[in-house]
Amino acid sequence: MNKHMIPLFLMIASCWLAPAHAADDTIAADQQFSSISRLLERADNALESGALQDAGRLYGASVRAYEQFMQSFPTFAPDLVRFRIAYCRNQMAMIRQRMARTQTESPTPAAPQPAQPVAVTRQQLQSLAEGDPTAMETTYRTMEQAGNPAAALFLAALHVKQDQLDEARKVLEQHLADFPHEPAAHYNMAQLILRDSQPDLEKARQHYRRAIEGGAPRDQDLEIVINL
């Protein structure tokens, strides 16, 4: 496996905090990180209450705050900060899809449309970051019972954790057949292809480009691997 590879699925990175070099910097970073975490929590709460516009605004503010934080404290939990930025951007893309559907709904009966993935909470994503197969399966079962199509991403992640790559590919292929424009699924498929013994780099590039076109953040490490 190429040394530049990063953890697979939903752009989830490890959550170990890197210590700052000076005590004062550590205290300042802790305080600012906690403040941004509270802002992100407000975004999650707004989304769960159905306030889509407020949630989108708060997720956008969280992205800007985390980006400024990385510039001020580049060594403080960089993987966790990148994960949260990717999470916020994914939630914003989901919100835009849901708002677009609401605006185009007609009062007259229309042909049934396929369901769209429902945005998942930060707590659900972090269960995958811990790498616990039991937590993965529990989250998958809960989302599946709730009828959330995004459960497929968690099922694919579980298969990868159990080294069942063929099963993970089947799950992602079916999910992309149902939701061909979902950026997270294309990103995950690109990562999965690179796990092959002889990966098809062109196919990986195609999926990665579709992920970027759909709103996923750019991944410089992955771009190095696929020679983009």
CB 185 within 8 A of CB 174: no
Geometric angle at alpha carbon 44, from 40 and 46, rounded to 5°: 110
72 in helix, strand or coil? helix
CA–CA distance, 10 with 151 (Å, rounded to integer): 12
pLDDT tens digits, 76-95: 888 788 888 888 887 888 88
Closest CA to 214 of 53, 62, 92: 92
What's the mean pLDDT when you consider all of the chain? Answer: 75
Query: Does residue 134 surpass a pLDDT of 80?
Result: no
Task: Record the tokens describing residue 191, joined without a space.
Answer: 């990562």
* 54-86 per-residue burial string, b: 16 or more CB within 10 A, e: under 16: ebbebbbbbbebbeebbeebeebbebbbbbbbb
Distance CA 64, CA 182 (A): 23
Nearest Cα residue to 123 out of 87, 175, 162 = 87
Identify the residue with better confidence: 19 or 145: 145
Instruction: List phi, psi (to 5°) of 152.
Output: -60, -35
- Give the phi and the psi of residue 115 in degrees, each rounded to 5: -65, 155
pTM over 0.85: no
CA 47, CA 3: separation in Å to the nearest integer? 37
- For residues 141 and 143, what is the distance between their CA atoms, to the nearest angstrom? 6
**144 against 72, higher pLDDT:** 72
Pick the most confident of 10-19, 51-60, 103-112: 51-60
Going from the N-terminus, what domains does the chain have, and what CATH number goes with each?
23-225 (1.25.40)
d(CA 107, CA 94): 23
Per-residue pLDDT, averaged over 91-111, amounts to: 69
pLDDT score for 203: 92
- Give which of 131, 197, 210, 185 is closest to 10, Cα–Cα: 185
Phi-psi category of residue 41: left, alpha or beta, with phi > 0 → left and psi -120 to 50 → alpha:
alpha
